[in-house]
Amino acid sequence: MFTPLRFLSLSLLLLWMISMNSLAHQALPYCHLIKAEQGNTLTFEISVPANTHWYLLSWHTPFDAWFSNFLTLTDLNSHQSLQYQGALAKRGEPTDEDYLLLPAGESLSVSLDLAQAFAIRPGRYQAALRPLRLYRDLNDKAQSTSLECPTLEVNLP
């Protein structure tokens, strides 16, 4: 017998199945910044869930230090962001080599010496990265996902 209740539960089941499917499809990497023990060094780390690999366009990410302005450092006292003193590069279209393979279940990290790109005075700062652009398949670059890494508040010497 077809009751409204049964229809509702079927619909909910269907919705649940769709959402599970899309969640599995979107098992996104996790990215974050970590303050190193000493000095003005941050470590950027991106960790990929098991079962699925991703590609990251390395431009405008910590893997591109310091040829683009991918990090904003804001002085939490004055609310002013520090002037970027690194390089800005003009490039053509990215080639496959510009996409970094993020293997399933692995983590990649890179260390960022902030003193190479900012004149830092001692203080408390917020570090914010540009959103990352992730791809599942280099043959289908129209399908891409933007990933925001959480900001980090740090005391810099």
Partner 1 sequence: MSKLFKLSTLAIASTLLSQSALAEGIAAKLQMSQDSFSSDQDVMVTLTLTNEANVPVKMLKWFTAADGVEESLFKVSADGQERPYLGAHYKRPAPSHKDYIKLKSGESISYQVELSSLYDMSATANYEISYDVSSMQLFAPNPGQAKKLARLGVEGIHSAPASFYLEGREFKGGNNKGKPGTGDGGGTTPDGISFTGRCSNSQQSDILAGLAAAKTMSADANQHLATASSNSQRYSTWFGAYSSSRWNTVSNNFSKIDSALNNEPLTFDCSCKKQYYAYVYPTQPYKIYMCNAFWSAPTSGTDSKGGTIIHETSHFNVVAGTDDIVYGQSGAKSLAISDPSQAIQNADSHEYFAENTPNLN
Calpha distance 98→85 (Å, rounded): 23
Greatest alpha-carbon span in the chain? 73
Q: Strands 123-129, 152-156: parallel, antiparallel or unpaired by DSSP?
A: antiparallel
In whole angstroms, how close is the CB of 42 to partner 1 at the nearest point?
Answer: 21
Q: Which is nearer to Zn ion, 94 or 103 (CB)?
A: 94
CB closer to partner 1, 7 vs 67: 67
CA angle 120-124-126, nearest 5°?
90
Burial bucket for residue 145 (CB in 10 Å: 0-12, 13-18, 19+): middle
d(CA 36, CA 155): 11
Q: Does 26 bind partner 1 (CB under 8 A)?
A: no
Interface with partner 1, residue 115, by CB under 8 A? no
Tell me the residue type at 144.
S
Q: Which of 1, 50, 88, 142 binds Zn ion (CB under 5 A)?
A: 88
Q: How far is the CB of 68 from Zn ion (least distance, A)?
A: 8
Site for Zn ion contains 90 (CB under 5 A): yes
Our finding on whether 58 is near partner 1 (CB under 8 A) is no
Q: Among Zn ion, partner 1, none, what binds residue 92 when CB lies within 5 to 8 Å by partner kind?
A: partner 1
Q: According to the binding rule CB under 8 A, does residue 83 interact with partner 1?
A: yes
* Residues that bind Zn ion in the complex, under the rule CB under 5 A: 88, 90
